Each structure stands twice: as C-alpha cells, then as structure tokens.
Structure 1
Amino acid sequence: MTARPESGASAGGLIIFLNGTSSSGKSSIARALLGVLGETYFHMSVDAFHAMRSGPALPPDELAAMLERTWRGFHRAVAGMAAAGNDLVVDHLFSEPWRLHDCLSLFDPSNVVLVGVHCSLPELERRERARGDRPAGLAARQFDRVHAHGVYDLECDTERAGAQDCARRIKEFLPRRRFPTAFEQMTARPASQPAGAPEPARNDIQAGA
C-alpha cells in the first residue's frame, strides 16, 4: 500500500472508528484518545444513543425493530458530523454484517481509520462479570462476528496494553496512515456475500484497553 498525497484527502472530518465486542475496551480507548490527540474531536458512542431512549418496555419484535432504527440513525449521525468537517472518535461494533455494509455506504472511505479492538474471550467474560451492566454471554455471542470482515488499518490487543498506550499508538499512526484504507479495500472488493452472511476471519496485531 502507498501513502496518498495530502492533496487527495477529502474535506470531510476524520473518523477514528473503534470496533470490538462489548467489554473489549473501546470506550476507555476513546476517552484516552480525546486527551492525547491535541485537536478538537467528538466522541460518538452507540451506547450514548441508546441512553437517549425513553418510554415503556417493548415486546421483543418491536424492540428489535427499534434497536435497528437506533443503529441506522447512529450511522447517519456519524456520517453527517463527518461530512460537516468534524473529526470523530466512534465507539461501535460490527456484530452484524449489515451494520458494516451500512457504514460502508455512508462514510467517506478515505477518511475512516478502522481500529480493531481485540481481547481474549476469557478476559471478556471476566470483565463482563466485573462490570455487571451487560447481559451474561453478550461478548461471547459477539466474539466471532465483530472482526469477521478481516481488514483493519490498525489493531489493538487490550490485554497487552492499556488505554493510554493504545491512544498514543493510534495518534502516532494518523500522520503515516496508508492507502487504500480498510474501508476503501472493503468498498472495492466484490460483493460476493449477501448481508448477514459470515465473512472472512480476522487478523491480529496489538495495542490497548
């Protein structure tokens, strides 16, 4: 891959997209990034969008439809903020293929830095029990899905580095990021699989929690 000249960059804002299972450390990295980047960034978290919701409990079919509307709205809010020129740190997860495909259709792929946030399943389960605010087994259900697309610009192992180390590593990567980006590669490859089908296995590197 080759570095793209600065003149080829989009006028839109940069999206640092943290993708990992529940309890993998995305939010901790996002908070650390805001402290080390030295520029104005917005942290956009899908959990914050869910927290905006009010109203009565919904039956399962209505809840599922409402959650999908929330995720789709979140993607479009991210796209709109970036299109207006805002730089973003996004905390989300591709636990279903349609979410990735929706983001691929909405974001400027040259302006997305896709960061994989990894952690072993035993450690995820330990963190899940310790925090006590997630359904039991949530991370296990997401584990094989979240990284199935297999392409990243940078990856983190949150058992081997803390949030500050990860944030610094991401910051150091930004001025030397390579093209085509992970989003550009995925946008360009043939649509050989329908939405919802399993996708190729992930690769690994390391970084923080």
Structure 2
Amino acid sequence: MLHAETYGKIVILNGTPRSGKSSIATVIQNTFEGMWMNIGVDRFMQMTPERYQPGIGLRPGGERPDLEPFILTLYRAMYESIAVHSRLGLNVVADVGHHDAYSVPLGILPNCARILMDHSVLLVGVHCPIEVVMQRRIETWQVGYLDDGSVPKPVSLWQKSVHVPGIYDLEVDTSVLSSEKCADLIRQRLEIGPPPTAFKRLEAMVAG
C-alpha cells in the first residue's frame, strides 16, 4: 500500500476566469521536476455534454439551479480523480474557480477538501484586479465593459465570490507577478515549506 509520503504533489489554483491560473499551470507542467498532470475546470468542461454546459464552470448568480446537482457531482469526480492520480505517484495541478454563490449554498470546496484529507495539498489563491481582468477579456474575447462603462454583473460576481472564504496556503497577484514568478513562489513553498494547512482547515468546516 502506498503511504502519503509517496503520493504525488497536488497544487490547486483558485481564481476568476482570466486571472492567469491556466498560464501558471502551464509553467508548472513545463518546468517543475517530475510529471505534472493538469486536471482542472477546462478539462472537465471539455468532457461535459453540451446540454449540461457550462457544467463545472457555472458562474456565480444561481441562474441554473437545474445544473447544480450535476456540478456537485462533477466537482467530486474531479477531486476523486486528483486523489487517484496522486496515489499513483503522479503530481497534479488543477486550475479551478470555486465559489458558493449558487441558488443555494453547496459547500463544494470544504467537501472536496474532505476527499483529499489524506493528501498534502497546496491551495493557491490567484488574484487579479478587476480592471486587469477586464482588459484581458477584451484582448482574448473582444468582450468588455457595458455601454454605460460598467463591469458586467457576472464578472463582478466572480470577483466577489471566488475568494470566499479566503483560506489559502499561498496567494499571488498576476497583475504584478508573471506566471513564471508565481510558479517559482509555488515551487519554493513546495520545497521549503511550511507544510500546507488550508485544505485541512477547510475540511474542518464540514459538519459531522
């Protein structure tokens, strides 16, 4: 039987769309020692049938309560997959956008933390000011501010919801740090410590 010390490393990157999570994950895959598998929101959305889209990527606002039972299941499946990969000795980086702003609170993040309770997980908050997020949306999707100059409601909801409750082992700001520098800070934390505790604190939030 494998013991925890032989498990692969796990890094969870949590932030809004266009915050830079995917770029950091790519640097980790390309530069960190060992094999790093990317298991995150984009991969699960690609596997999700069209009629259940956006699936795990459902934005805050509670606008699709019909999808919410599937989202809970998809998140559980993703974290169970992360656990299996780690137990087989594979390192995992996952870029996600956790929030609990559904039609009713689902408590997904604390419950997913319970799935990885026997693993060492580094939870990284990927921050980016909304002005920079908007500029990246314009550059990537040619979609920006509303006609009155305001930020679209879904974008502002992401910004308010994604970092609740804000329990992290490490936080980075991609408006001031490059993807390479963010990855380097993650590498240092993995190599030097201290040991991560965020997932254990989140798991303790689950009643019972």
Report SS of the residue matched to 1:67: helix
Matched, 1:49 2:65: no
Residue 179 of structure 1 aligns with which residue? 195
Shift of 1:124: 1.5
Matched, 1:111 2:115: no
Question: In 1, are the aligned partners of 2:98 and 2:109 still within 8 Å (CA)?
Answer: yes
Report SS of the residue matched to 1:76: helix
Shift of 1:9: 5.3
Residue 96 of structure 2 aligns with which residue? 92
Residue 164 of structure 1 aligns with which residue? 180
Question: In 2, are the aligned partners of 1:42 and 1:88 still within 8 Å (CA)?
Answer: yes
**What amino acid sits opposite 1:166 in the alignment?**
C
In structure 2, list runs of 5 or more residues that go unmatched: 54-63, 101-105, 145-151
Report SS of the residue matched to 1:183: helix
Shift of 1:57: 6.8
Give the structure-2-normalised TM-score: 0.76
Question: In 2, are the aligned partners of 1:125 and 1:140 still within 8 Å (CA)?
Answer: no
Equivalent runs, 1:1-209 vs 2, <5 Å = 10-56=5-51, 60-96=64-100, 98-108=107-117, 110-132=119-141, 137-179=153-195, 181-188=197-204
Distance 1:134 1:167, change over 3 A: farther
Question: In 2, are the aligned partners of 1:115 and 1:154 still within 8 Å (CA)?
Answer: yes
Residue 202 of structure 1 aligns with which residue? none
Report SS of the residue matched to 1:35: helix
Structure 1: distance between partners of 2:161 and 2:65: 22
**What amino acid sits opposite 2:168 in the alignment?**
Y
Question: In 2, are the aligned partners of 1:110 and 1:181 still within 8 Å (CA)?
Answer: no
Report SS of the residue matched to 1:152: coil
Question: In 2, are the aligned partners of 1:34 and 1:41 still within 8 Å (CA)?
Answer: yes
Distance 1:168 1:73, change over 3 A: same
**Across the two proteins, how many residue pairs are aligned to each other?**
184
Structure 1: distance between partners of 2:52 and 2:82: 27
In structure 1, list runs of 5 or more residues that go unmatched: 1-7, 195-209
Structure 1: distance between partners of 2:80 and 2:142: 27
Structure 1: distance between partners of 2:76 and 2:45: 12
Structure 1: distance between partners of 2:50 and 2:4: 43
Shift of 1:109: 5.7
**What amino acid sits opposite 1:52 in the alignment?**
M
Percent identical pairs in the alignment equals 28
Structure 2: distance between partners of 1:81 and 1:113: 15
